[in-house]
A and B are shown apart, each in its own frame.
Chain A
Amino acid sequence: MTLLATPARPAHRPEERPPRRRRRTAWWHLVLVPVAVLFATPFVQMLLTSLTPESEINRFPPRFVPSSITLDGYAKLFGETDILLWTGNTILVSVVAVGSHLILCSLAGYGFARLKFPGRHVGFGLILATIMIPTQLLMVPTYVMFARVGLIDTLAAAMVPWLASVFGIFLMRQFFLSLPAELEEAAVLDGCSRWGTFWRIILPLARPALATLAIFTLLSSWNDLVWPLIAINDPNAFTLQLGITNFQGARRTDWSLLMASNVVATLPLILFFVFAQKQFIATMTFTGVKG
């Protein structure tokens, strides 16, 4: 601040915008174009390689762009592997995760934000404290626990950890705290029960927060790898991520198939991102999702 205390050119008038400013913005493109190209390159490579004939991939010197385009990689992927089954599994896991998150976390968030009941401070405090526990600490006992109740190698093993989360409860509680209490008081005075108020008055207002929560849960459950890797060894219960990771070892040189599987695993989220970018960014701003 001391630097600013000595005005060097007091003649400047604050209302006046420097006229050269607009032209200067062109320079930013010189920075942004290479950066954008770098960030986009892996996607372009992914798509191109998935369409490249097998014979062209391992040739030397390599080509930047294939001479012809083929759908062989996709044909092989859908014809010879269980990719459709795994995609179905992942969709199932994500649907259960998102549905359960939306219901359970908004219920809990509302309870902790608005209702008075004994033990609520202790309960919420405990929930917040668990943020500090790294997931790696929980892997072994959770595995043993799931093995004892027979969840290992079932799709349910991939779902249970995503039924509710601290993030979800916290997000919904923060949102409900920001709603004016008068809304529900009026409903309660009119004879509406707490449940009725919640379902009919409060939840419809919570759409933006629910969108954030849904995106967070979709992204995390769709992309989760560590936990399915530990809990699921049966190829029939593989998730998409687990399946394509497995390809890497089993079909090491089958690059067009590998990249086709990458496209299948990534494209749904990419499309979703492009169409719901605003909500995605809001979600990312709220917390770091990728774990």
Chain B
Amino acid sequence: MTGTAVEARQRVRARPPVRAVRARRGGRVPDGLTGWGFVAPATLIVLGLSIFPAVWAFLLSLQDWNGFSAAEPVGLDNYREMAADPDLAAAALHTLLYTALFVPASVLLGLGLAVTLNRRIVLVGVYRTLIFLPFVVSAAATGILTTYLFNPQFGLVNNVLRVVGLPQQGWLEDPHQAMVVIAIMSLWGQAAFTTVIYLAALQDIPAELSEAARVDGANPWQSFWHVTFPQLAPVTVFVAIWQSIQAIQLFDLVYTTTRGGPLQATETIVYYLWTLAFRELEFGYASAVAYGLFAVTLAITIGVTVYSRRSTVGGPR
């Protein structure tokens, strides 16, 4: 994914950055031992904690195992069970709802904030700091803050509503609102990320472009949507994919606010997966669900990338 971020930004630039000369001319070639000596420790750790368990997870997904008794091979039964699991379907629906709330909002918020912060006005540094600061706050801390701010009895949000004369809400205790609250607090914590990415991209766009548009008589709104925004298309695609993957994997904030409640209204796929694995000890079935999630993530990434490549051909750029 990091590669995509860098590539996306580089595609935005008008001029490709000058690449350092990489060719090694005639120098001594160190023997394989030195090379592996450099890379082996990190490589072993990274592969040992990813590829090895990933393969193991696949084998587990073909078994019925609780971690203690003997594992029983069940073939593809776990995957068949997934199709008929109403809890999984519900969790998928909740995850979809959160994704639909969070991704467009975070992309638009990031874009809006970046455009606003990308100008030389007094105090812009202070605004930036305040908007970026939530990014360093952990999910655990955000969870405690959320339960306090949105507490129906004494929380700040209901208190403000009371003062301005609006009806009190249940927030995290209301099955219809809990996910919205989680999305709002995710936005608070993550707006910095999309904003920073868009800010960097905006600074890569040559100022002459929008100046030319203004000279040609476009108003600021037209010049933004017809000149600046198309330039940002690769970044928008990257940010949308990235935030979707984050949204699909939502767990932390659910755990630290509602623990899946009320009435399982905030039980996301990963929360369900965690319950299966570490509460019900269904290691086999949980691994199958994890592979299902993996497949969906992969499909979205590939789908969005292919679609955006195709639709930008002959587009405004």
Decide: B226 and A3 in contact? CB cutoff 8 A: yes
Which chain A residue lies CB-closest to B32?
A117
Cβ contact of A262, chosen from B5, B131, B145, cutoff 8 A: B145
Which chain B residue lies CB-closest to A170?
B2
User: How far is it, in angstroms, between the C-alpha of A8 and the C-alpha of B35 when the chains are bound?
Assistant: 63
Contacts A60-B153, A144-B283, A230-B278 given: A104-B42 contact, CB under 8 Å? yes
Which chain B residue lies CB-closest to A179?
B20
Q: Which residues of B contact A272 (CB under 8 A)?
A: 136
Q: Which residues of B contact A250 (CB under 8 A)?
A: none
**A79 → chain B closest CB, angstroms:** 20
**B31 → chain A closest CB, angstroms:** 7
Contacts A107-B41, A170-B2, A177-B22 given: A57-B226 contact, CB under 8 Å? no
Contacts A1-B316, A248-B147 given: A14-B132 contact, CB under 8 Å? no
Q: Which residues of B contact A1 (CB under 8 A)?
A: 226, 316
Instruction: Give B34-56 interface residues, CB cut-off 8 Å to A.
Output: 34-39, 41-43, 45-47, 49-54, 56
Decide: A123 and B39 in contact? CB cutoff 8 A: yes
Secondary structure of the B contact surface, majority rule: helix
Secondary structure of the A contact surface, majority rule: helix
User: How far is it, in angstroms, between the C-alpha of A36 and the C-alpha of B278 when the chains are bound?
Assistant: 40
**A174 → chain B closest CB, angstroms:** 7
Which chain B residue lies CB-closest to A222?
B138
Decide: A188 and B27 in contact? CB cutoff 8 A: yes
User: How far is it, in angstroms, between the C-alpha of A120 and the C-alpha of B31 when the chains are bound?
Assistant: 12
Cβ contact of A40, chosen from B33, B130, B242, B294, cutoff 8 A: B130
**A93 → chain B closest CB, angstroms:** 13
Which chain B residue lies CB-closest to A123?
B43
Decide: B41 and A141 in contact? CB cutoff 8 A: no
- A77 interfacial by beta-carbon distance below 8 Å: no
- B139 interfacial by beta-carbon distance below 8 Å: yes
Decide: A265 and B138 in contact? CB cutoff 8 A: yes
Q: Which residues of B contact A60 (CB under 8 A)?
A: 153-154
Q: Which residues of A contact B216 (CB under 8 A)?
A: 4, 6-8
Q: Which residues of A contact B49 (CB under 8 A)?
A: 138, 142, 160-161
Decide: A137 and B41 in contact? CB cutoff 8 A: no
Q: Which residues of B contact A140 (CB under 8 A)?
A: 57, 60, 277, 283, 286-287, 290
Interface residues of chain A, those whose CB is within 8 Å of chain B, are 1, 3-4, 6-9, 12, 14, 25, 28-29, 31-32, 35-36, 38-43, 45-46, 49, 57-62, 64, 104-105, 107-108, 110-112, 114-120, 123, 126-145, 147, 160-161, 163-171, 174, 177-181, 185, 188-189, 194-195, 198, 219, 222-223, 225-226, 229-230, 241-242, 244-245, 247-248, 255, 258-259, 261-262, 265-266, 269-270, 272-274, 277, 280-281, 284-291
- 13 residue pairs bridging A and B, Cβ less than 8 Å apart: A14-B215, A35-B131, A39-B130, A130-B50, A132-B298, A142-B53, A143-B277, A181-B20, A194-B30, A225-B252, A270-B133, A273-B135, A290-B193
